[in-house]
Amino acid sequence: MSEQNWVPRQIRGRAGVAMGVLVTVAVFVVGLLWAKWTPYLARALKAQRTHHWSGSNILAVGGVRAGDAPTWHAATTFFHAYFAAIWPALVVALLISASVQALVPRAWLPRVFNRRGLISSALAGGVASMPSMMCTCCAAPVAVTLRRTGVTRAAAIAYWLGNPLLNPAVLVFLFFVAPWQWTVTRAVVGVATVICVAVSVGVVTGARGSGPPVAEAITPAGDESAGPAIRFVRSLLCLCLVLLPEYAIMVLVVGACRGWLVTLTQPSHHGLLIVVVAAIVGTLLVIPTAGEIPILQSLALLGLSSGPIGALLITLPAISVPGVAMVARSFGWKAIATATGTVVAMGLLGAGVLSAL
Radius of gyration of the chain (CA): 21
For residue 219, pLDDT beyond 60: no
Predicted pLDDT at 215: 36
Predicted pLDDT at 201: 96
Long-range own/partner contacts, residues 324-330 (CB < 8 A, 24 or more apart): 325/246, 325/247, 325/250, 326/137, 326/140, 326/141, 326/144, 326/243, 326/246, 326/247, 327/140, 327/143, 327/144, 327/160, 329/212, 329/216, 330/143, 330/144, 330/147, 330/148, 330/156, 330/212, 330/216, 330/218
Domain layout of the chain by residue ranges? 17-45+59-356
The length of the chain in residues reads 357
Identify whether the C-beta of residue 169 lies closer than 8 Å to the C-beta of residue 123: no
Residue 268 pLDDT class (50, 70, 90 cuts) = low
Question: Could you give the CA distance from residue 290 to residue 177 in angstroms, rounded to a whole number?
Answer: 12
For residue 222, pLDDT beyond 80: no
For residue 123, pLDDT beyond 90: yes
Predicted pLDDT at 263: 84
- pLDDT, one tens digit per residue, over 308-342 is 999 999 999 999 999 999 999 999 999 999 999 99
What mean pLDDT is predicted for residues 199-221? 60
Tell me how crowded residue 261 is: count the other CB atoms within 10 A of its CB.
17
Predicted pLDDT at 220: 39
